[in-house]
Structures are given as structure tokens and as C-alpha cells.
Amino acid sequence: MNLNVEIKRYNPEEDEEPHWESYEVPADPLDSALSLLLHVKWHEDGTLSFRKSCAHGICGSDAMQINGENKLACSVLVQDIADGEGDTVTFAPLPSAPVIKDLVIDQSRFFEKYRDVKPWLITDGPAPEREREQSPEEHAMIEEASKCIMCGACTHACPSTWADPDYLGPAAMLKAYRYTFDTRDDGAEERLDVVDSPDGLWKCYTIFNCNEACPKDIDITRWLSALKRRAATSQASTNA
Amino acid sequence: MAASKSNALNWFLHRITGTFLIFMLITHFWVQHYDHQVASVTHEVVTEKGQMPEYPEAAKEGVKARFGPDAEVTPYQVVMQRLADPVYAVLWKGFNILFLIVALHHGFYGLNNVMTDYIRNPMGRLVARSLSWTVALGLFIIGLYSVITAGW
């Protein structure tokens, strides 16, 4: 079948504002959405820019807005975004982030927030001779959160991020959860200092857009709620 | 009180007040708008006046025209008598004051969240927060005065 693919284009050297361009693209229902973009780039317009790397839902490079929803282009099938011949499929960059060109956003702010929550193991004592042990039950608490591939679909789907670009956002705070609840980690207080702030946890209003957007089906809101309870408990014990 | 930069306490109270509001709103609506039989006013207060207070006929007709022939209303006097009742007044005044505190905190914490979503300048945030909590305090004082003096 042939699809009408509309892409939000923007070249800062030529365009004052982003604009939509349409392309007719042949597609199989079992193609990925990414293949539509590759067809445009290879056969229609080589100047089209977008990020992609592994194309298998691991690297998280090709998060973008497809038919108005934040998704990974490589993890979405044509049959899930188009009903048949002549249907329109739209591609736009992730909302609320500065656009560098076409579908490529500036991720520097996103990764600044990521680094702010200290997403690494913080330990007090000396390193053990062998690995740091963790029981399956202890690991189960952080297993789902560990699946995050930092694609940014959640953070850029969050209305709190749209309203306040300084808001840490679900991706960074999910990382904070992942390390704070890691039983091998001793840096909870340092991280809670970061997330328990005016631009942190309390701007999560459990809207659930992050859950909808996550290509790994992580129940982000659930884990952020656990982090909120931990922060509130920590505050209460500090002030007791 | 939590440290000033933390909103943990307010977030926790928002959860608590939200839960309270579900039950308090239902109770409030039932007692204020549907309890026309004045079950929450003691017999002495009703009989002291000789008869049940009534809305003017025109008001009752208006309610029936809008909500059907079986619709009944809670007269203003019943509400006031409840707040003057020797047995129930303290209960309902206490309920209303708690309802006032819970609703104001819940509403104004929500309003503060919305404001700080869109006001990113620290001084602007401080001004907006100070103004909103001042308005909340003003409304609390007015509400408190109204509830305490009503019927007494």
C-alpha cells in the first residue's frame, strides 16, 4: 500500500518556522515506522534528518512524535499507525525540546537533568573482593526501572515538562528511583536532595502520559510515587 | 514543618485532604442540600418555633419546575437552626471549619502548583506563592467568622 507521510521539517539555516512536507511512501503493514523515514531519506529527500542507530528498540535514538504520540520509530509497525491505502502518518520531533534540524532535538538539557540525579552507584565502604550481592527480591524492586533506555519519550510527553523546562522529568527521576532503591547503593540522601526540590518530584501530578509514552512499558508513575513516599518519609524523619 | 525547599509535607497533606474531601463533600451536599427533614436538628429547636421553616412558595415552585414535582429544598432557616442547635451546633461548626481548612489547603496547594509550573522566575514564584497563601488566609478568616457566628 501507499501511505501519505507528513514530516515536520525545519532547517534553521533556511526556515524561520517549522513546516510540514508530504511524501508518498510505499509500505508493508509489517514495516516499522522507521522504514518510512528511511524510504523518504534514501529515495525522496536526502536532506531529511533524524536520529537512529540500532533500529531494534535498544539504543533509544529514534524517539519522536508519530501520529501525535511519542514513540520509538523502530518499535512501531505500520499496521499499528495506518489502516490502509492512502492513510496519513505524521512524524514530528519530540515536543518541548529545542529542534536542531527536522526530527533531531537538542538533548543536552535532557541529559543534564539525567546527570543531576547522580545515576551511578554511590557507596560508602571499600569495594568488596567479589561482586556486590543482591537477592532476587531486592533486584525485583529495580528491575523494571533498569529497563529504561533513556529515549526521552516520557519526559517530552509530560505536561509538567511542557510547562516548565526546568522540571527534572520522569526519565531522570526514574533513574533516581532506580539507584535510590538499589540495596547496594548508599547515595539515597544525595539523590533525594536533588529530586525533593521545587523542580523535582512534586511537579509530577500523576498524569500518566509517561506511562503511555514509554516504549518499554515501564510503570514510571508507580516508581515515581514510591520515590515520593521515600522522600516524604525521609523529610519526616529528618524533621522529627 | 519540612525544610523550605521541600514540598514533601504539602504533597503529603494534599493526598490526605483529597481523601477527606471525598467524604466531606458527600456529607456536606447531603446535609446542606438534601437533609430537608432536619434530621440533624433536635426536636426542641424545631418545636420551639412551632413549625418547620419553609422556603417562600415562589422558590419551592421554581425548584419543582426545574427538578420535578417531588423535589424538595432545604430551607435557609434549617441550615441556620442547625448551627444554633444546642446539641448539633458544635458538631456542624467543627465539621464546617475542618471542611474549610481541608478545602482551602487542597485548592490553594493545587493553585500553587499551577502557578509555579508557569512562573519560573524565583522572585515571581515567591510573590505568587505569598499572594495566594495570603488570599487563602483571608478566605479562612472570613469562613471561620461566618461559621462561628452563624446561628449564635
Question: A47 and A122: one domain?
Answer: no
In this complex, the residue of A201, A228, A239 whose CB is nearest that of residue B2 is: A239
Query: Do residues A24 and A36 share a domain?
Result: yes
Task: Kindly report, residue by residue over A91-122, the tens digit of the pLDDT.
Answer: 999 999 999 999 999 999 999 999 999 999 99
Contact (Cβ atoms closer than 8 angstroms) between residue B39 and residue B49: no
Give the distance from residue B122's alpha carbon to the nearest chain A alpha carbon, in angstroms.
10
- Whether the pLDDT of residue A221 is over 80: the answer is yes
Q: Cβ of B9 under 8 Å from any chain A Cβ?
A: yes
Range name among A12-21, A218-227, B99-108, B110-119 with the lowest pLDDT average: B110-119
Q: Which residues of A touch B (CB under 8 A)?
A: 160, 163-164, 166, 196-198, 201-203, 205, 228, 231-232, 234-236, 238-239
B11/A238 CB distance under 8 A: no
Distance from CA of A68 to the nearest CA of B (A): 23
Q: B12 CB near a chain A CB, below 8 Å?
A: yes
Domain boundary residue, one of A57, A76, A105? A105
The DSSP secondary structure of chain A, one letter per residue, reads -EEEEEEEE--TTT-SS-EEEEEEEE--TTSBHHHHHHHIIIII-TT-----SSSSSSS-TTEEEETTEEEEGGG-BGGGT--STT-EEEEEPPTTSPEEETTEE--HHHHHHHHHT--S---SSPPPSSPPP--HHHHHHHHTGGG-----TTGGG-HHHHH-TTS-HHHHHHHHHHHHT-TT---HHHHHHHHSSTTTGGG-----HHHHH-TT---HHHHHHHHHHHHHHHHHHHH-
Number of domains in chain B: 1
Residues A101 and A124 grouped into a single domain? no
Planar angle of CA A144, A150, A156, nearest 5 degrees: 110
Q: Is the dihedral of CA B109, B114, B120, B121 positive or negative?
A: negative
| Candidates B8, B116, B125; nearest CB to A235 | B8
Q: Which residues of B touch A231 (CB under 8 A)?
A: 6, 8
In a domain, B7, yes or no: no
Q: pTM score, two decimals?
A: 0.84
B120 in reach of chain A (CB within 8 A): yes
**Among the listed residues B103, B106, B130, the one whose alpha carbon sits nearest the alpha carbon of residue B116:** B130
Per-residue pLDDT 10s for chain B (152 aa) are 334 478 899 999 999 999 999 999 999 888 877 765 555 555 554 445 545 555 567 766 776 777 777 766 666 767 777 788 777 888 889 999 999 999 999 999 999 999 988 888 889 999 999 999 999 999 999 999 999 998 77
The answer as to whether B95 is a domain residue is yes
Summarize the confidence of residues A76-80 as an average pLDDT.
96
pLDDT value at position A165? 87
> What CATH number does the domain containing A46 carry?
3.10.20.30
In chain A, the number of structural domains is: 2
Looking at the structure, do residues A231 and A204 belong to the same domain, yes or no?
A: yes
Quote the domain boundaries for residue B88.
14-149
Domain shared by A51 and A116, yes or no: no
- Domain termination site, one of A82, A105, A128: A105
CA distances from B113 to A39, A92, A99, A186 (A): 45, 29, 28, 31
Domain around A58: 2-105
**pLDDT confidence of residue A198:** 84
Q: Based on the domain organization, do A13 and A121 belong to the same domain?
A: no
Query: Do residues A166 and A223 both lie within one domain?
Result: yes
State which of A105, A138, A168 marks the end of a domain. Answer: A105
Residues A77 and A116 in one domain: no
Name residues 98-117 of chain B within 8 A of A (Cβ): 113, 116-117
Q: According to the model, what pLDDT value does residue A97 have?
A: 93
Residues A127 and A91 in one domain: no
Q: Chain B contacts of A160, Cβ < 8 Å? A: 117
Among the partner residues B3, B12, B117, nearest to A232 by beta-carbon distance: B12
A122 and A156 assigned to the same domain: yes
Mean pLDDT of the region A37-58: 96
Q: Does residue B10 belong to the interface with chain A, where contact is any CB pair within 8 Å?
A: yes
Same domain, A139 and A98: no
Residues A40 and A100 in one domain: yes
Q: Which of B117, B118, B119, B123 to mutate to test the interface with A (most CBs of A within 10 A)?
A: B117
